[in-house]
């Protein structure tokens, strides 16, 4: 992964360093940059801000839990509960089974708030200008392909676990396999469905990475090009990126529960038996 990121990073570095003899351009790096090491493990700028976002998420969740127990009626609580109820209703509607939806929600909703908080933290003015030995100390967690790919794998693996749990191991395997002589259509669909599992993983990871990283690059370039007029130009783009960050967090949440739903058996389908899912049609 590191070698791949270095190869991808080369064109960006050339762009950023173009015209260095006249005026240095903005620092743009596709790969996260290592700030320090803990033994043999390198800690990157995206991991530092991701840790801050995780701690902030935990603080919010514990605060909300405490507020619910004490009967708090603050505006923040009303807004948070309204958002949570909306996510709950959406999860139940997509999954189709309230019992399963309640068990799926912790992962899906946690991913939503994790990306929402980290996407917005990545827009703070100190992200980028604050450096250590010439390297930005902070970088948005979702602007790190390693982070988004890891969470995408967790989502897809969770979908497979639920499919196996509801269909059985061999029943789930039947979604991807069929006798090519007796049922050539389902055999072909099964191959497409198997390939689709990898494409879904890639789509989950690349969609949010591309949007968040692209947004950060956009802000850097606009600030560089507008110079002293950035104070007037940037607020417009900051508002746009706040919206994009929220939308991308919601899209990741929606795709997670949708992929889990695709692996669940349809009504009346027996445990341990399955065919290639309707998603492949």
Domain coordinates in residue numbering, the chain: 45-280
Nearest to 120 by CA among 218, 252, 239, 254: 239
Q: Residues of the chain with pLDDT > 90: what percent?
A: 46
Q: Residues of the chain with pLDDT > 70: what percent?
A: 86
Residue 163 tokens read as 């499919």
* Mean predicted lDDT score pLDDT of the chain: 84
Under 8 Å between Cβ of 167 and 270: no
Dist. CA 228–CA 210, nearest whole Å: 28
What is the average per-residue pLDDT within 176-194? 85
Under 8 Å between Cβ of 149 and 136: no
Dist. CA 267–CA 243, nearest whole Å: 37
pLDDT of 161 over the 70 cut: yes
- Kindly report, residue by residue over 195-223, the tens digit of the pLDDT: 999 999 999 999 999 999 999 888 888 88
């Amino acid at each position: 992964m590191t070698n791949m990121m270095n190869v991808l990073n080369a064109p960006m570095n050339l762009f950023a360093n173009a015209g260095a003899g006249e005026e240095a351009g903005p620092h743009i790096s596709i790969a996260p940059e290592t700030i320090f090491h803990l033994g043999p493990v390198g800690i990157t700028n995206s991991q530092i801000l991701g840790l801050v976002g995780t701690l902030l998420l935990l603080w919010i969740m514990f605060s909300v839990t405490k507020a619910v127990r004490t009967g708090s009626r603050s505006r923040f609580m009303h807004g948070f509960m309204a958002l949570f109820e909306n996510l709950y209703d959406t999860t139940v509607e997509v999954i189709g089974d309230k019992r399963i939806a309640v068990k799926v929600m912790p992962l899906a909703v946690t991913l939503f708030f994790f990306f929402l908080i980290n996407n917005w933290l990545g827009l703070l003015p100190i992200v980028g200008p604050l450096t250590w030995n010439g390297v930005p100390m902070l970088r948005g967690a979702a602007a790190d392909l390693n982070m988004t790919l890891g969470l995408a794998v967790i989502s897809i693996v969770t979908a497979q676990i639920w499919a196996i749990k509801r269909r059985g191991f061999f029943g789930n395997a039947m979604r991807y396999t069929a006798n090519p002589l007796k049922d050539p259509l389902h055999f072909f669909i099964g191959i497409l469905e198997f390939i689709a599992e990898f494409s879904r993983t890639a789509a989950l990871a690349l969609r949010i990475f591309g949007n968040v990283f692209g947004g950060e690059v956009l802000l850097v370039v606009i600030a560089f090009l507008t110079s002293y007029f950035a104070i007037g130009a940037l607020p417009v783009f900051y508002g746009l990126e706040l919206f994009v960050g929220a939308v991308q967090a919601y899209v990741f949440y929606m795709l997670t529960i949708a992929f889990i739903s695709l692996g669940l058996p349809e009504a009346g389908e027996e445990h341990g038996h399955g065919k290639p899912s309707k998603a492949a049609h």
